[in-house]
Amino acid sequence: MNHSGGTSAKAFSPFNKYGERFTMTPADPILLSDEQIRQYIANGYVQIETDVPAHIHTTIGRKLDEMVAEGPNLGNNVLPRVPEFRHILNSPQVRGALSSLLGPDYVEHPHRYCHDSRPLEETPDDIPARVAQQSHQDSYTPMSRPRQHYSRYARIIYYPRDTPIELGPTHVTPGTSYHKVVTEEDRYAVQPMVGPAGSLWITHFDVIHAAGVNLTDQVRHMIKFIYLQRSVPAAPSWDCRDQQWRNPADLQCPWDLEIAWSHMWDWMCGKQNRYDSFFNGAAAEGNLAHLIDVLEKSSLEDQLAAVRQLAALGGAAAAAVPTLANLLNKDPQPLRVAATYALGAIGAPAVETLVGQLDEAAQEGWEKRGQAGWNEGSVEMLDEAHALGAIGTPAVAPLLELLERTAEWGRINAAFALGEMDARASAAVAALTQLLDEDSHRVVRTALDALGTIGNAEAAVPRMARFLGESRAEWEEVLTGTRAWTARDQVRINSATALARLGPRAQPAEEALIGALDDPAGYVSLYATEALRQLQTPSAERALMDMIWAQRWDASLSAERPW
């Protein structure tokens, strides 16, 4: 530009060839309200309205059409293929929602995908049955991780175009975020997520959902993005006006799991006592023997009410521990969830029974546990592990003993339970670090995740860093159902993820992280990038800029104009 007033060259236009302007002014995040957080916890999802201009949704839809027509579906590369997504993901409403649910330092997961629902050649005779058949919980990509009740992972679901019921929207089953299996009842309780162009929801990662049936002659696009929490909550990260849990006004879950929901709320509030809201709102009353009898003989509704009353008695309900523990890891799903967190409320008197059951299951082995086991789609931890994690400090020492003496499946569950305690399990860092030398990649992967969530794990950083370059022959076999991924691939991913979560504490791993920028597994490279970004050292920033400059993609080029 000629600032002296003379003739200047043609000015840069912020409009593309379609006359669409993409420049948007950054704005402060718009945080969620108490009611929205409560909906997310109890229902498993919350809808977010953005003010992104309509033409951006139009452009995204058109580019996805081109991708589908030209093929193939680019999977994780859909974001660089359609960079306009950044205006959705960086909008103040979406940034505010993710900050509210996962904390302001949330991390974007490298997995994202465009789910195309194409017109059917023949309309099914029974559409509800077709949708029910497709109901599922997502796997953790690229290979399995334990399902976590706490909101450590969240999923965005977004439509670039108007998506009425006829176009086959995604369906969701409210209140199923904590389920271990998809029941027939869950399959037929799905609700369609319909909306105009730009509609967006954020869901708990484990909520049950299904694709709808496309009855039109158009292709439906639904794009999902995944995010994970970096830091454990120390205080509410949303627009919190009242730290006492209350069931949401828009409660879509058909059963009352206040004992679990209030626990999740208190964890998100950063409270030391994760049963603070429950004990403040529940009256400790009821005959213990009668309540135990109700658990064994009554309807689900009465059983859930009895579990709540037993939980309100806290340690005074110790006599009910065997009965409650007998409800774990089996249907009905709402009852096992309620029993899990009632045992957490009873606290120390429940530890011995829970540890004993966990140890017994470990001796049988994960291969024989039916619902509870390990596969490379998802890992369903034993309910005993979730309950011990909810109990916290009184369970640390017994779990450390299990790490030393029990079988593989028991060590996995014990490590998971310690990780769910966050910083309350800081005393377990040394023992978990020792697990990193185990032969079992399952044990190592779980220990890495636990160290990443506990947070005070500086002592483990050198060992974590070695995984980024270390090779073990027994981990190189491609595992069944993993799309050609090996155990070593996932160990490196878990290590890089844990280092990214540790932030500046991961500084001793800087050299290994710089080397991991060239890792053949893109997930490792992305988490290494995030870990280096958190270090903020000149050498880390230089390595990142070198990589970004080399990998920059010029989306303006085409076959007609390749330079």
* Every domain of the chain and the residues it spans: 34-228, 347-449, 457-554
Strands, sheet with 209-210, edge to edge from the N-terminal-most edge strand: 191-192, 171-172, 209-210
Is residue 135 within 8 A of residue 210, CB to CB? The reply is yes
Over residues 275-290, mean pLDDT: 87
Of 477, 471, 364, the residue nearest 410 (C-alpha): 364
In angstroms, the CA 355 to CA 442 distance is 20
In angstroms, the CA 518 to CA 75 distance is 20
In angstroms, the CA 84 to CA 78 distance is 10
In angstroms, the CA 84 to CA 65 distance is 14
CATH code that applies to domain 347-449: 1.25.10.10
Structure token pair of residue 170: 């995604």
Is residue 141 within 8 A of residue 71, CB to CB? The reply is no
Which DSSP string corresponds to 438-481? -S-HHHHHHHHHHHHHH---GGGHHHHHHHTT---GGG-SBPTT
Average pLDDT, the chain: 91
CATH architecture of residue range(s) 34-228: Sandwich (2.60)
Half-sphere exposure of 396 (CA within 13 A, CB side): 17
Is residue 411 within 8 A of residue 382, CB to CB? The reply is no
Instruction: For 314-369, write each residue's pLDDT tens digit.
Output: 999 999 999 999 999 999 999 999 999 999 999 999 999 999 999 998 888 765 55
Query: Is the model's pLDDT at 1 over the cut of 50?
Result: no
In angstroms, the CA 559 to CA 223 distance is 26
Is residue 203 within 8 A of residue 157, CB to CB? The reply is yes
**Would you give the end-to-end CA distance of the chain in angstroms?**
23
Over residues 132-142, mean pLDDT: 92
In angstroms, the CA 22 to CA 536 distance is 30
Query: Is the model's pLDDT at 539 over the cut of 80?
Result: yes
The sign of the torsion formed by the CA atoms of 155, 159, 163, 166 equals negative
Instruction: For 39-73, write each residue's pLDDT tens digit.
Output: 999 999 999 999 999 999 999 999 999 999 888 88
Query: Is the model's pLDDT at 4 over the cut of 60?
Result: no
Percent of the chain with pLDDT over 70: 94
Angle between helices 408-420 and 441-454 in degrees, nearest 10: 10
What per-residue confidence (pLDDT) applies to 479?
A: 85
> Is 347-449 the same fold as 34-228?
no
What per-residue confidence (pLDDT) applies to 11?
A: 40
Query: Is the model's pLDDT at 553 over the cut of 80?
Result: no
What per-residue confidence (pLDDT) applies to 429?
A: 97
In angstroms, the CA 420 to CA 178 distance is 14
Longest Cα–Cα distance in the chain:
93
Q: pLDDT band for position 558 (50/70/90)?
A: confident
pTM for the whole structure: 0.92
Over its C-alpha atoms, the chain yields an Rg (Å, rounded) of 25
Instruction: For 454-475, write each residue's pLDDT tens digit.
Output: 988 999 999 999 999 988 899 9
Query: Is the model's pLDDT at 519 over the cut of 80?
Result: yes
Residue type (1 letter), 467: F
Q: pLDDT band for position 561 (50/70/90)?
A: confident
In angstroms, the CA 446 to CA 461 distance is 15
What per-residue confidence (pLDDT) applies to 20?
A: 54
Which is more confident, 490 or 560?
490
Query: Is the model's pLDDT at 208 over the cut of 60?
Result: yes
Over residues 231-247, mean pLDDT: 97
Query: Is the model's pLDDT at 3 over the cut of 70?
Result: no
Per DSSP, the chain holds a count of helices (H) and strands (E) of 24, 8
Instruction: For 66-93, write each residue's pLDDT tens digit.
Output: 999 888 889 999 998 999 999 999 999 9
What per-residue confidence (pLDDT) applies to 25?
A: 53
Of 497, 518, 522, 485, the residue nearest 79 (C-alpha): 522
Q: pLDDT band for position 123 (50/70/90)?
A: confident
Is residue 33 within 8 A of residue 248, CB to CB? The reply is no
Query: Is the model's pLDDT at 557 over the cut of 80?
Result: no
Residue for token digits 């007609």?
Answer: 560
In angstroms, the CA 173 to CA 34 distance is 22
What per-residue confidence (pLDDT) applies to 388?
A: 98
What per-residue confidence (pLDDT) applies to 271?
A: 97
Is residue 281 within 8 A of residue 271, CB to CB? The reply is no
Over residues 94-111, mean pLDDT: 96
Q: pLDDT band for position 15 (50/70/90)?
A: very low
Is residue 21 within 8 A of residue 59, CB to CB? The reply is no
Q: C-alpha dihedral over 524, 202, 418, 310, to 10 degrees?
A: -170
Instruction: For 397-446, write each residue's pLDDT tens digit.
Output: 999 999 998 889 999 999 999 999 999 999 999 999 999 999 999 999 99
Residue 297: CB atoms within 10 A of its CB come to 9
Residue for token digits 């509210």?
Answer: 100
What per-residue confidence (pLDDT) applies to 7?
A: 36
Is residue 325 within 8 A of residue 354, CB to CB? The reply is yes
Residue 86: CB atoms within 10 A of its CB come to 13
Query: Is the model's pLDDT at 301 over the cut of 70?
Result: yes
User: Among the listed ranges 4-18, 52-66, 98-112, 341-355, which one has the minimum average pLDDT value?
Assistant: 4-18
Helix, strand, coil proportions of the chain in percent (round to 5)? 50, 10, 40
Q: Judging by beta carbons within 10 Å of its beta carbon (0-12, 13-18, 19+), is residue 371 exposed, middle or buried? A: middle
Instruction: For 478-510, write each residue's pLDDT tens digit.
Output: 887 777 899 999 999 999 999 999 999 999 999
Half-sphere exposure of 439 (CA within 13 A, CB side): 4
Percent of the chain with pLDDT over 90: 80
In angstroms, the CA 43 to CA 39 distance is 5
Over residues 84-106, mean pLDDT: 97
In angstroms, the CA 309 to CA 282 distance is 8
Backbone angles phi, psi at 409, to 5 degrees: -65, -35
Half-sphere exposure of 30 (CA within 13 A, CB side): 13
Residue 46 parent element (H or E): strand 45-48
What per-residue confidence (pLDDT) applies to 10?
A: 37
Is residue 370 within 8 A of residue 330, CB to CB? The reply is no
In angstroms, the CA 454 to CA 109 distance is 20
Q: Which residues of 55-69 are buried (b: 16+ CB within 10 A; e: fewer)?
A: ebbbbbbbbbbebee
